[in-house]
Structure 1
Amino acid sequence: MIAARLAGPADFAGWRREARRLALAGIPPEAVAWLVGEAEQGGLFGPALEETAALVAEGRAELTVPRRFLELAQTVICHRDPERLGLLYRLLLRLQAEPGLLEVAVDGDVARAEAMAKSVRRDIHKMTAFVRFRAVEGAGENGPFIAWFEPEHFILERAASFFTGRFRVMQWSILTPQGSLHWDGAALQVGPAATKADAPDDDAMEAYWRTYYAGIFNPARLKIKAMKAEMPVKYWRNLPEAELIAPLIAGAARRAEEMVMKAPTLPPERHLRQASRQAQAGGQEEAAALGSWEAAAKAARGCTRCELHCNATQTVFGEGPLDAPVVFVGEQPGDQEDLAGKPFVGPAGQMFDRALSEAGLDRNRAYVTNAVKHFKFQLRGKRRIHEKPNVGEIKACKFWLDLELGFVKPALVVSLGASALRSLTGHAGALAQAREADLKLEDGTPLLATVHPSFLLRLPDEEAKRREYARFVADLKRVGGRAPALKLGQAA
């Protein structure tokens, strides 16, 4: 075996020099032992290598590799796998006979080198993302600051340019188990390995950082698997916000539920007044011309009161007997309702039917409709994703809902969700409070408020889903108590 020695684990210049000498001497990969650091000098290179060195000096021997290989090798050499050096040397030799080797992605050596390079680049990204500087006691505005980090690979010097560029005016040190970087504002020095005890545990600014982190945490967008993939747990112990992560995750479901139950943010009052004037203009005249439910349903098919008709498949009018004792009002039709032209036939409708059945109520005796008659959505690829209607759209559609209520004249109206409640009462209000209150419409018709069935489908926590579903069924039983004619088994 011939020993080739490098000054350090990521000594690319040393590897390049030794690999060139070995390759020009015709030394096969299996005959080379790659060593890192200082050791005894005997028997490192035989006469063949000395002769090759002379040929290289005289310019009579050359090796040719694509630029891509040099870039790949500079990255791969930072990997912690001890076989990386031999792998790169083997690729170097193969490239002399196979110039296009790196284009063969399925080749075992190429695939392994690319995987190593990807792992190194990811480790560099993690370092730039998760290094946290802490001020040394008595430090000024520009430092000194110290950070502790535990890289997976030998990336310290390769990542240094990011920090010298990003924190050029600061004085800082980054300590790791592999070595350390020290920047005085002008020059970078590489130092020996350190331990976590050499770095400060906290500083005054971290309390502000934790407050900021807690403030921007959005429980409704929490994806734990994605978060751990981007910020692996092994880095948490070195981050000041780490102590907040577990309690924030634990309370995410409750906070998301509270966000859903809150009333939506309203536009400025002037927009509401303008929408109201537009809805009223000509509304009374048109309503007088629609003397029956059938005429109203037919007229609604051509509704252009707001922009939602431009993209929706069709108007989805209400459905049910015109002598129904109860009118259920939802938010708007969904994807399946838009295609079928009927209200509450999609997943939320199935949840609604199931809850009605458990509450002992007969949907066939109820009138079911929505505050908004067209499906509002965002197109994502081939999927149409539900989008909440705004106040102007709710106000524009109030014309049709008022007609429906006038034709049916129910003994009780039930609002399903905040948008329906907003439409029926004409003002915003917290659904959680309205759910417990005895409400009335302007004409004196009793109004009960509860959640929309789609709210139950969106709950991420199974326990919360079971709890809220039971509350929803209890609300529907209250409806049955106020309107006995709606109960199963009762005479129509």
Structure 2
Amino acid sequence: MMRQSYHATISSPADFGGWRAAARTALALGVAPEHMVFVPEGETPPLFAEPLPEPPADARQPTVPRAFPSLAETILCHSDPERFGLAYRLLWRLQADKHLLDVASDPDVQRAREMEKAVRRDEHKMHAFVRFREVEDPDGERHYIAWFEPEHHIVERTAPFFMRRFAGMRWTILTPERSVSWDGGELAFGPGARREDRPRDDDMEALWLTYYGSIFNPARLKPKAMQAEMPKKYWRNLPEAELIEPLIRGAGAAEARMLANAPTLPSIRHQRTQERTMVTGGAPDYAAYGANRRPEDLDEARAQALHCKACDLWEPATQTVFGKGPRNAPVFFVGEQPGDQEDLAGEPFVGPAGKVFDQALAVAGVDRTQAYVTNAVKHFKFMPRGKRRIHQKPDMGEVRACRWWLDLEREFVRPKLVVALGATAAAAVLGKTVTIKATRSKLIDLTETTKLLVTVHPSYILRLPDPEAQKRETALFNEDMARVRDFVPEIALAA
């Protein structure tokens, strides 16, 4: 065994390929871990350590368990200055003990697993907390820039995730140590940057803050759990950070309001099979709709709808969410169905999509208080996932069952213009399936006195992953709301 100390230069902080080549050479030469030093490029090697010589021509390649290369590549991304030595020590010991990695109590294995967890946790934080902001480069092209401060050397490791996630964008992620850019064709890595170089707010930030604020549920607030997942050190680089403290401070009052307005679920379960009836045409089954006769006005319809069991959606939902607005509103907006927050509040379009809807109306100069707003389906359809309720699209049977209420609303309101927000709403109004592409922004005759305008649902804009597409669709939606104002000028905001 050789007693001379040797060193190998590693070209970058997480250079797995360079470390592997040097480690194989050192192992072939029989250099024990205590006599091998791996030096990052730019640093001075130990005074008495010689450069690592070439390995023998007949040197055998080391054998390792299948799990070791992935473990070594991960721990080399850790910020611990001893990471290269630890990885080599494990490699050296694995030649004598192939099952070393299974010994959880071994100090080297234990440390390696801790470092592996820390790196993967840092990767997760980078995936979750990077926020791109739009800037314009010297050529007038749109470019998206983000600033992040990772704890470990993970930029090269996480860059492919962002390349796949934002393949259609030109973007750059700046960090103090390393930066990466994507031009639509290849990734390019460069030196680090300063916090002062990070971009400022852009036009899409307001939309994001609107969405973030509207999805906050005070009843589910757990500050300790939230900070465990999103430590405060990340807040300063997140645009939504300015909302976190005010939302937490106001959580108690918001929860009290929710409890005060919470309805009671129907409880007579044994009658469910007889009372639930799917409407297939002809005279409606009034009992299924929670009534013994046809309602005579909008108020009576709203009261009867609270007891509707015409389809299966009534049971898991919190309450019926009926339309809201003036009895003689000139414009009648129809969405798909209530969401999580609408189901709790009992009012349509008060959640994330409602905030986007309100923002578009404000841009177009439309007074929402002068419009009637409702949904094609009056109960929230969802799938439980942990503590969350994930939206599910209603099927056409559920849409048909609820169309009786929609027709009553239209009959009592008598609007000049019906605006269908999304394909489900358009199908409910027209009684047939249509596409947004074929019908969008056109005025369609419903009756001699009523027109239909079809556009997208605001939630469609929120779901778009590409900021460029989100910005484009927001502009188109705003234009459709401006068409509403132009067709029905009496609904315009007062100057």
Instruction: Give me the TM-score of the superposition, normalised by structure 1.
Output: 0.52
Question: Deviations along 1:68-101, whole A, 9 cap, x unmatched?
Answer: 1000000000000111111111100100000011
Letter of the structure 1 residue corresponding to residue 17 of structure 2: A
Shift of residue 2, structure 1, vs aligned partner: 2.1
Correspondence for 2:16: 12
Q: CA–CA distance in 1 between the matches of 2:175 and 2:97? A: 40
Correspondence for 1:327: none
Correspondence for 1:305: none
Q: CA–CA distance in 2 between the matches of 1:79 and 1:222? A: 33
After superposition, residues 72-83 of structure 1 pair within 5 angstroms as 72-83=71-82
After superposition, residues 359-370 of structure 1 pair within 5 angstroms as none
Q: CA–CA distance in 1 between the matches of 2:245 and 2:144? A: 28
Q: CA–CA distance in 2 between the matches of 1:233 and 1:82? A: 26
How many residue pairs are counted as aligned between the two chains? 276
Shift of residue 32, structure 1, vs aligned partner: 2.1
Letter of the structure 2 residue corresponding to residue 212 of structure 1: Y
Q: CA–CA distance in 2 between the matches of 1:254 and 1:271? A: 42
1:207/1:138 CA distance change after superposition, 3 Å: farther
After superposition, residues 14-53 of structure 1 pair within 5 angstroms as 14-38=18-42, 45=50, 49-50=52-53, 53=54
Shift of residue 33, structure 1, vs aligned partner: 2.4
Shift of residue 24, structure 1, vs aligned partner: 1.6
Greater mean deviation of Cα atoms: 134-143 or 249-258: 134-143
Correspondence for 2:234: 235
Shift of residue 21, structure 1, vs aligned partner: 1.3
Shift of residue 44, structure 1, vs aligned partner: 5.3
After superposition, residues 299-448 of structure 1 pair within 5 angstroms as none
Is the contact between residue 171 and residue 183 of structure 1 (CA under 8 Å) also seen in structure 2?
Answer: yes
Q: CA–CA distance in 1 between the matches of 2:285 and 2:97? A: 70
The yes-or-no answer on 1:146 pairing with 2:145 is yes
Unaligned stretches of 5+ in structure 1?
Answer: 279-492
Is the contact between residue 28 and residue 55 of structure 2 (CA under 8 Å) also seen in structure 1?
Answer: no
Is the contact between residue 142 and residue 171 of structure 1 (CA under 8 Å) also seen in structure 2?
Answer: no
Q: CA–CA distance in 2 between the matches of 1:113 and 1:230? A: 23
Larger relative helix fraction: 1
Q: CA–CA distance in 2 between the matches of 1:233 and 1:227? A: 10
Correspondence for 2:6: 2
Q: CA–CA distance in 2 between the matches of 1:39 and 1:266? A: 69
Shift of residue 264, structure 1, vs aligned partner: 1.5
Is the contact between residue 29 and residue 55 of structure 2 (CA under 8 Å) also seen in structure 1?
Answer: no
- SS of 1:260's partner is helix
Is the contact between residue 142 and residue 170 of structure 1 (CA under 8 Å) also seen in structure 2?
Answer: no
Correspondence for 2:104: 105
Percent identity reads: 53
After superposition, residues 176-325 of structure 1 pair within 5 angstroms as 176-264=175-263, 273-274=287-288
1:202/1:276 CA distance change after superposition, 3 Å: closer
Shift of residue 62, structure 1, vs aligned partner: 2.3
Shift of residue 143, structure 1, vs aligned partner: 3.0
1:130/1:40 CA distance change after superposition, 3 Å: closer
Shift of residue 182, structure 1, vs aligned partner: 1.0
Q: CA–CA distance in 2 between the matches of 1:68 and 1:121? A: 16
Question: Deviations along 1:88-125, whole A, 9 cap, x unmatched?
Answer: 11100100000011111121111110110011001011
Is the contact between residue 143 and residue 172 of structure 1 (CA under 8 Å) also seen in structure 2?
Answer: no
1:235/1:141 CA distance change after superposition, 3 Å: farther
Is the contact between residue 139 and residue 145 of structure 1 (CA under 8 Å) also seen in structure 2?
Answer: no
Is the contact between residue 28 and residue 59 of structure 2 (CA under 8 Å) also seen in structure 1?
Answer: no
Letter of the structure 1 residue corresponding to residue 64 of structure 2: V
Shift of residue 251, structure 1, vs aligned partner: 0.5
Shift of residue 23, structure 1, vs aligned partner: 1.6
Shift of residue 30, structure 1, vs aligned partner: 1.6
Is the contact between residue 143 and residue 169 of structure 2 (CA under 8 Å) also seen in structure 1?
Answer: yes
CA RMSD of aligned residues (A): 3.1
Question: Deviations along 1:426-447, whole A, 9 cap, x unmatched?
Answer: xxxxxxxxxxxxxxxxxxxxxx
Q: CA–CA distance in 1 between the matches of 2:201 and 2:290? A: 56
Is the contact between residue 179 and residue 192 of structure 2 (CA under 8 Å) also seen in structure 1?
Answer: yes
The yes-or-no answer on 1:130 pairing with 2:126 is no
Question: Deviations along 1:375-411, whole A, 9 cap, x unmatched?
Answer: xxxxxxxxxxxxxxxxxxxxxxxxxxxxxxxxxxxxx
1:215/1:2 CA distance change after superposition, 3 Å: same
- SS of 1:70's partner is helix
Letter of the structure 2 residue corresponding to residue 111 of structure 1: Q
Shift of residue 146, structure 1, vs aligned partner: 0.4
Q: CA–CA distance in 1 between the matches of 2:147 and 2:285? A: 54
Q: CA–CA distance in 2 between the matches of 1:263 and 1:142? A: 50
Unaligned stretches of 5+ in structure 2?
Answer: 267-275, 278-283, 293-495
Greater mean deviation of Cα atoms: 204-213 or 134-143: 134-143
Shift of residue 174, structure 1, vs aligned partner: 0.3
Letter of the structure 2 residue corresponding to residue 45 of structure 1: E
Question: Deviations along 1:237-269, whole A, 9 cap, x unmatched?
Answer: 111110000000000011001100104177899
Q: CA–CA distance in 2 between the matches of 1:10 and 1:263? A: 54
Shift of residue 217, structure 1, vs aligned partner: 0.5
Question: Deviations along 1:192-219, whole A, 9 cap, x unmatched?
Answer: 1101211212111101111111111000
Is the contact between residue 4 and residue 44 of structure 1 (CA under 8 Å) also seen in structure 2?
Answer: no
Structure with bigger gyration radius:
1
Correspondence for 1:71: 70
